[in-house]
Structure 1
Amino acid sequence: MDIRRIDDIFSVSPQLSVEDVREAAKLGFKTLVANRPDGEEYGQPAMADIEAEARANGMEWVYLPVESGNIFDNDVDRFDEMIQQVSKPVLAFCRSGTRCTVLWALSSARTEPARDILTKARNAGYDIGGLAPRMAQQAGKQS
C-alpha cells in the first residue's frame, strides 16, 4: 500500500486491495473514498468488496467516481461537500492517486492559496502545476 499524506486530514493512494482496507483502518483512517469507477480496468477489485471491508472495519465509505482527465466543476462541488461532512482523516484512492489529488486541490483552492496546495501535492509526489488556471477559477467559489 502506497499511502501519500497530503495534509493532516487527507491522504491518497493508488488502487487499494481488500487487505489494504484493513490496514488503512488500523492506521486510523475514518473514511475511505473511491474516486475510481468500478470496472475501469480488468482485474481491479470490485468496489462492493472494498466497501464491505471498509464498513466491516468501522470506516465510512464514499463512492465518488470520476474519469481520468475528465474532472468537471460538479465533481469538485460533490467532493467539496463530501470532504466537509465525513469523519477525518480521509484516505482516497483511484488508479494512481492523481484524480484524488486533483479533486482535493480544486476543492481546496476555494479556501487556500494555490502555492500551498501545489507544495502539498508536490511533497506527496504529484505535480499538478498545470491545474493552476483551474485552481484560480475555483478561488472563492462555494459549493
Structure 2
Amino acid sequence: MDIRKLDDDICVAPQITVDDVAEAARLGFRTIVANRPDHEEPGQPAMADIEAAARKHGLNWVYLPVESGNIRDSDVDRFAPLLSDAEKPMLAFCRTGTRCTVLWALSSARSQPVEPLLMRARQAGYDLSGARPRMEQQAREHQD
C-alpha cells in the first residue's frame, strides 16, 4: 500500500484492497474515505467489500465518490467537514490518490494559506499547481 502523508490528520493512497484494510488499522488509521466510485474501471475492488473489511477492523467508513477530473464545489462541500469532524487519522483513497489530494487541498484552502498546501501536496508526490486558481477561489469565498 502506497500511503502518502498530507498532514497529521490525513494520508492518501491509490486504490486499496480488502487486505490493505487490516494494515491500515494496524497503522492506526481510524477512518477510511473512499473517493472512487464503484465500477470506475473493470477489476476494481468493490467498495462494499472494502467497507465490510473496514467495519470488521473497527474503522469508520465514508463513501464519498467523486468523478475523476470533475471535482465539483459540492464534492468539496461534502469533503471539507471530514477534515474537522472525522475520527483521525484518516486514509483517503481513489485510483491514484490525486483526487483525494485535490479534495483535501480545496477544502483546506478555505482556512489555510494556499502555498503551504501546494508544498505539502508536492512533497507527497502530487503536483497541484494547476489547482492553484481554484484553491485561491475557495479561500476568497470562505474567508471569515
Query: Same fold by TM (over 0.5)?
Result: yes
Count how many residue pairs are aligned between Structure 1 and Structure 2: 142
Is the CA contact 2:9–2:83 (under 8 Å) kept in the aligned structure 1? no
Could you list the runs of 5+ residues in structure 2 that have no partner in the other structure? Answer: none
1-side partners of 2:118 and 2:85: how far apart? 24
Amino acid at match of 1:118: L
Matches of residues 27-42 of structure 1 in structure 2 within 5 Å? 27-42=27-42
* 1:85 positional shift: 1.2
Amino acid at match of 2:84: Q
Matched residue SS, 1:139: helix
Is the CA contact 2:33–2:64 (under 8 Å) kept in the aligned structure 1? yes
Amino acid at match of 1:98: T
The one-character-per-residue Cα deviations of 1:34-65 (angstroms, maximum 9, x if unpaired) are: 00000111000000000000010010000000
Matches of residues 1-143 of structure 1 in structure 2 within 5 Å? 1-140=1-140, 141=142
Matched residue SS, 2:65: coil
1-side partners of 2:45 and 2:12: how far apart? 17
Is the CA contact 2:31–2:87 (under 8 Å) kept in the aligned structure 1? yes
1-side partners of 2:74 and 2:94: how far apart? 18
Matched residue SS, 1:105: helix
2-side partners of 1:79 and 1:50: how far apart? 19
- Displaced runs of 4+ in structure 1, greater than 3 A? none
2-side partners of 1:108 and 1:89: how far apart? 16
2-side partners of 1:126 and 1:12: how far apart? 10
Q: In percent, how many aligned pairs have the same letter?
A: 66
Amino acid at match of 1:20: D
The one-character-per-residue Cα deviations of 1:90-135 (angstroms, maximum 9, x if unpaired) are: 0000000000000000000001111100000000000000011000
Supply the RMSD in Å over aligned alpha carbons: 0.9
Amino acid at match of 2:100: C
* 1:83 positional shift: 2.4
